[in-house]
Amino acid sequence: MRFDQKKILVTGGSRGIGRAIATRFAAAGAQVAIHYGSNHEAAGAAIKTLEGTGHILCSGDVAEPETTQRIVRETVEKLGGLDVLVNNAGIFEAHPVDDVTFDDWQLAWQHTLAVNLTGPANLCWQAIDHMRHNGGGRIINVSSRGAFRGEPRCPAYGASKAGLNAMTQSLAQRVAPYGIFVGAVAPGFVETDMASKVLDGPDGDAVRQQSPLGRVAKPEEVAHAVLFLASAGAEFSTGTIIDVNGASYLRS
């Protein structure tokens, strides 16, 4: 898959899955805008490793509507357009219903939905507003296995990813006539900093054994699915949600 001269925006692109996605796009000839929240050091290290030239950094909290406007505007202005948006930025915070106060429960839901669902929705609006006047494009949302099987310790996370899937399919139906194709990938556990606390802890082996492969995904395996959905020839897969969980959870 080649993406020569394509302009790509990857949110949460400084680490883990996002960094792997940015790396794969750059290696395939694209110019990449790596978005990050606040860790400038990690973002700077990530962009230095990208193949090719013309890549940029952009920062900010995707939970803020004005920030989503600026991120897309900066990408379009500095890269000269936007062909692919990858909504990867997200948070995963424990808040079991029987172990938090009501105030903490509300804060967890507000924060998680703002970052994981409303932020991507606003970025989608901004990207679609550009793409529908400029020849179309691709949007890929990074969801989660938890959208289907549940997240008992992080219910707002599971709900936010289920909402992201529903939005993906709704937009796919609406914007296809503009030449904009929308899909999602739904990983299980992945070898990232966000998952390291669980994977390196006492439950790590049990998590790995959830898959018949006896391991969790590598970030590059999630990136591979993202690039497929973004590629020429994948247009009729619009609305698809690709599971990348090593058969650890099979849905009908």
> Which residue numbers are catalytic?
157
Q: How far is CA 149 from CA 106, 144, 146, in A?
A: 22, 9, 5
Nearest to 8 by CA among 167, 21, 179: 21
Helix, strand, coil in percent for the chain, rounding step 5: 50, 15, 35
**Cβ distance 158 to 92 under 8 Å?**
no
**Cβ distance 147 to 204 under 8 Å?**
no
Rg of the chain over all Cα atoms, to the nearest angstrom: 17
| Helices 16-27, 40-48: inter-axial angle, 10-degree rounding | 30
